[in-house]
């Protein structure tokens, strides 16, 4: 399809040409030059592509940066990363104590350009006057989060896109000091973003000063391994389940293997095709354990070795997926992946039982359990049963990690914070060790994880959950759905009466403002609706509880309610 170039095309071509002039990456320079040539030749698709790349900019927020690797301000590339590094350096210098140089530790995973982006960050930070420390090699995100506290740096940067599609990358920022190694929240995100935009408008990448940086020793990794293993399985029984492990082509296994060995666990059977870092992710179309088919190779191996447990880390090893034997699993897989809520509630119960004694003198536990507002409210039932405090936070471990007196935190998207004194972020390696510890205890008692899940339902009720994800090509559709739900609030969902709707747009209770609707229904059910923070999706979270009857009857009732809610919400957001 042809297109007659107009004035806007000319402006974008000029901006793209200026971009090429400062881009140190020959691959993205050549890619953008080819698009410019096609635009000049009247290619309508090339004109639309250039508009998409230059009419917007990847926003730096509490999730940092994340996007597809390609040229232009609306993509991830060396120009954007260099501007981000310079902006973050300016923020750190602005907030540094008088007479003290700020510091940053930088980590990177095995994705395309991760090492290059990390090195650019270290050199530019050092050139700006920030002490820059690069981790010694590609490592999991939890090791970087640990290093911020262990090295007592002002900040940390992790170059990763976690479980995003293969051609994505990202830039996650942590703060030290009073933030204790948690990810950034407002107003820090806006302040850093303002510095980044100033750099982008006043300096080109070649004008940014660069300097030499430090490289951390292996002691950082050794200490993470030691402290994670020490807290993983105190008094772990000798009886251990047969386990299958996959790293999903990520960086988790080298560190996880050391933790498991140091904690005294038997070596798991490995999904060899997925165990080494590979930026192409050749065996999965989407390297996320939640995606259909992502764990097929794990299940195949599990059937071959008669595994009692399957554990999977995502590519940067900050998430954990767990699967257990289930003859009723679809497609004859023989294994069922537990939901993030099931794993979170199981680990939360474990954390409550192991919580330290209270300083009150009554011998009971102290501290708090925390989860995001879209995760299962069953964690509050656990906290209440053990006399612990409970905190419901906004989505993301930047919020969960800041809960007062935190003992354990989780969110339904396979994220678990089991060791807050070591890592103030989700950690798929320490969570795997904790779950293996529990499974070993259960096996020593002649029980399975499935038995334990039944015991949870018997004690705390069946807290069933479901989720609807609506992927869009136009982000405006998400805004339109949220606006319609606010303007025309439903009186019922699937025939279940709505008690009230809580709009978090202006904040709610202790929660900061967030684009979230919480729909509370009869019988303890609820629905949460929000735009995804990292993907072009509208996400709907469904929760139901049943506390009457046998375990089977509770499950049946709660599951039926979830099905009703799902059908009703699909009609409302269609």
Tokens of 268: 């798991």
Tokens of 461: 């009720």
The answer to whether 31 and 19 have CB atoms below 8 angstroms apart is: no
Q: CB neighbours of 222 closer than 8 A, spacing ≥ 6? A: none
Model pTM score? 0.94
| Beta strand pairing call for 269-270 and 243-246 | parallel
> Is domain 461-573 classified as CATH 3.30.70.20?
no
The answer to whether 368 and 405 have CB atoms below 8 angstroms apart is: yes
Q: What does 204-267 look like in DSSP terms, one character per residue? A: -GGGS-----EE--THHHHHHHHHHHHHH-TT--S----EEEE-TTSSHHHHHHHHHHHHTPPP
Q: What whole-number distance in Å separates Cα of residue 115 and Cα of residue 132? A: 15
Percentage of the residues of the chain whose pLDDT score is greater than 90: 83
Q: What whole-number distance in Å separates Cα of residue 161 and Cα of residue 168? A: 6
The CA-CA-CA angle for residues 284, 288, 175, to 5°, reads: 135
The reply to whether 61-217 and 218-460 are identical in fold is yes
Q: What does 43-90 look like in DSSP terms, one character per residue? A: BHHHHHHHHHHHSS-PPPBTTBEEEEBSSSTTSBSHHHHHHHHHHHHH
CA distance to 171, 254, 339, 488, per residue, from 249 (Å): 19, 12, 21, 45
Is 103 an active-site residue? no
pLDDT by 10-residue block (mean), the chain, 574 residues: 78 96 97 95 93 94 90 97 98 93 97 98 98 98 98 98 93 95 94 97 97 98 96 68 97 97 94 97 93 94 97 98 93 91 98 78 78 96 95 94 96 96 96 95 94 98 93 82 92 95 89 92 94 81 96 97 96 86
Neighbours of 132 (CB within 10 A): 28
Kindly tell me the burial class for residue 59, based on how many C-beta atoms sit within 10 Å of its own C-beta (0-12, 13-18, 19 or more): middle
Q: CB neighbours of 466 closer than 8 A, spacing ≥ 6? A: 541, 542, 562, 563, 565, 566
For tokens 């981000």, what's the residue?
84
Q: 286, 289, 292: which is closest to 252 by C-alpha? A: 289
The answer to whether 71 and 28 have CB atoms below 8 angstroms apart is: yes
Distance of CA 131 to the CA centre of its chain: 27
Would you state the pLDDT for residue 285? 87
Residues counted in the chain:
574
Kindly tell me the burial class for residue 571, based on how many C-beta atoms sit within 10 Å of its own C-beta (0-12, 13-18, 19 or more): exposed
How do residues 495-514 score in pLDDT, each as one tens digit? 999 999 999 998 888 888 88
Kindly tell me the burial class for residue 259, based on how many C-beta atoms sit within 10 Å of its own C-beta (0-12, 13-18, 19 or more): buried
Would you state the pLDDT for residue 233? 62
The answer to whether 77 and 23 have CB atoms below 8 angstroms apart is: yes
Q: What whole-number distance in Å separates Cα of residue 441 and Cα of residue 236? A: 7
Would you state the pLDDT for residue 451? 98
Would you state the pLDDT for residue 62? 77
Would you state the pLDDT for residue 32? 97
Q: CB neighbours of 19 closer than 8 A, spacing ≥ 6? A: 32, 54, 71, 72, 73, 79
Q: What does 407-475 look like in DSSP terms, one character per residue? A: EEEEETTTEEE--TTT-SS--HHHHHHHHHHHHHHHHHTT--HHHHHHHHHHHH-EEEEEEEEEE-SST
Q: What whole-number distance in Å separates Cα of residue 173 and Cα of residue 105? A: 10
Would you state the pLDDT for residue 534? 65
Instruction: Tell me which of 162, 372, 430, 546 is the catalytic residue.
Output: 162
Would you state the pLDDT for residue 494? 94
CA 252, 253, 254, 259 torsion-angle sign:
positive
Would you state the pLDDT for residue 237? 59
Coil/strand/helix, residue 314? coil
The CATH number of domain 61-217, selected from 3.40.50.1700, 1.10.260.30, 3.30.499.10, 3.40.120.10: 3.40.120.10
Q: What whole-number distance in Å separates Cα of residue 14 and Cα of residue 183? A: 37
Would you state the pLDDT for residue 359? 52
Fold (CATH) for 218-460: Alpha-D-Glucose-1,6-Bisphosphate; Chain A, domain 3 (3.40.120)
For tokens 């939890």, what's the residue?
142
448-483: b or e for each residue (b if 16 or more CB lie within 10 Å)?
Answer: bbeebbbebbeebbbbbbbbbebebeeeeebeebbe
The answer to whether 220 and 147 have CB atoms below 8 angstroms apart is: yes
Would you state the pLDDT for residue 276? 97
Q: Where are the domains positioned within the chain?
A: 1-55, 61-217, 218-460, 461-573
Q: What is the DSSP letter of 358?
A: P
The answer to whether 131 and 155 have CB atoms below 8 angstroms apart is: no
């Amino acid at each position: 399809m042809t297109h007659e170039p107009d004035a806007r095309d000319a402006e974008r071509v000029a901006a793209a040409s200026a971009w090429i002039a400062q881009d140190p990456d020959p691959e993205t320079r050549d890619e953008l030059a080819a698009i410019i040539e096609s635009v000049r030749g009247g290619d309508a698709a090339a004109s639309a592509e250039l508009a998409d790349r230059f009419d917007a900019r990847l926003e730096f927020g509490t999730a940092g940066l994340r996007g597809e690797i390609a040229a232009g301000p609306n993509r991830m590339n060396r120009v954007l990363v260099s501007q981000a590094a310079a902006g973050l350096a300016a923020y750190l210098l602005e907030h540094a104590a008088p007479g003290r140089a700020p510091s940053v530790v930088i980590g990177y995973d095995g994705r395309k350009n991760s090492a290059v982006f990390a090195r650019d960050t270290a050199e530019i930070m050092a050139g700006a006057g920030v002490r820059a420390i690069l981790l010694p090699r590609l490592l999991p995100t939890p090791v970087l989060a640990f290093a911020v506290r262990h090295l007592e740096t002002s900040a940390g940067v992790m170059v990763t896109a976690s479980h995003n599609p293969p051609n994505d990358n990202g830039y996650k920022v942590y703060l030290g000091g009073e933030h204790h190694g948690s990810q950034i929240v407002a107003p820090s995100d806006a302040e850093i973003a303002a510095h980044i935009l100033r750099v982008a408008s006043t300096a080109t990448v070649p004008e940014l000063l660069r300097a030499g940086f430090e490289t951390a020793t292996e002691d950082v990794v050794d200490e993470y391994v030691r402290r994670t293993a020490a807290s993983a399985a105190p008094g772990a029984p000798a009886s251990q389940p047969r386990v299958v492990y996959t790293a999903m082509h990520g960086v988790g296994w080298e560190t996880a293997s050391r933790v498991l060995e140091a904690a005294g666990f038997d070596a798991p059977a490995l999904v060899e095709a997925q165990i080494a870092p590979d930026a192409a992710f050749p065996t999965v179309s989407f390297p996320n354990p939640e995606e259909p088919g992502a764990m097929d190779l794990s299940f195949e191996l599990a059937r071959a070795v008669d595994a009692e447990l399957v554990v999977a880390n995502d590519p940067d090893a900050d998430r954990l997926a767990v699967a257990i034997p289930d003859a009723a699993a679809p497609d004859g897989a023989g294994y069922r992946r537990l939901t993030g809520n099931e794993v979170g509630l199981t680990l939360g119960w474990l954390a409550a039982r192991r919580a330290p004694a209270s300083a009150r003198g009554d011998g009971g536990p102290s501290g708090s359990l925390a989860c995001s507002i879209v995760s299962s409210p069953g964690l509050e039932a656990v906290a209440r049963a053990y006399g612990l405090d409970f905190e419901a936070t906004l989505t993301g471990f930047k919020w969960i990690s800041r809960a007062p007196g935190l003992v354990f935190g989780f969110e339904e998207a396979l994220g678990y914070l089991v060791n807050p004194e070591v890592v103030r972020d989700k950690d798929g390696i320490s969570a795997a060790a904790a779950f293996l510890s529990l499974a070993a205890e259960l096996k020593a008692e002649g029980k399975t994880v499935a038995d334990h899940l039944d015991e949870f339902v018997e004690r705390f009720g069946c807290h069933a959950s479901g989720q609807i994800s609506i992927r869009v090509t136009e982000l405006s559709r998400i805004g339109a759905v949220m606006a319609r739900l606010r303007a025309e609030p439903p009186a019922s969902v699937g025939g279940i009466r709505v008690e009230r709707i809580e709009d978090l747009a202006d904040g709610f209770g202790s929660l900061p403002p967030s684009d979230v609707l919480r729909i509370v229904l009869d019988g303890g059910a609820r629905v949460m609706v929000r735009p995804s923070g990292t993907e072009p999706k509208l996400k709907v979270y469904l929760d139901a509880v049943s506390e009457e009857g046998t375990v089977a009857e509770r499950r049946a009732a709660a599951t039926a309610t979830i099905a009703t809610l799902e059908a009703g919400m699909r009609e409302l957001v269609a």
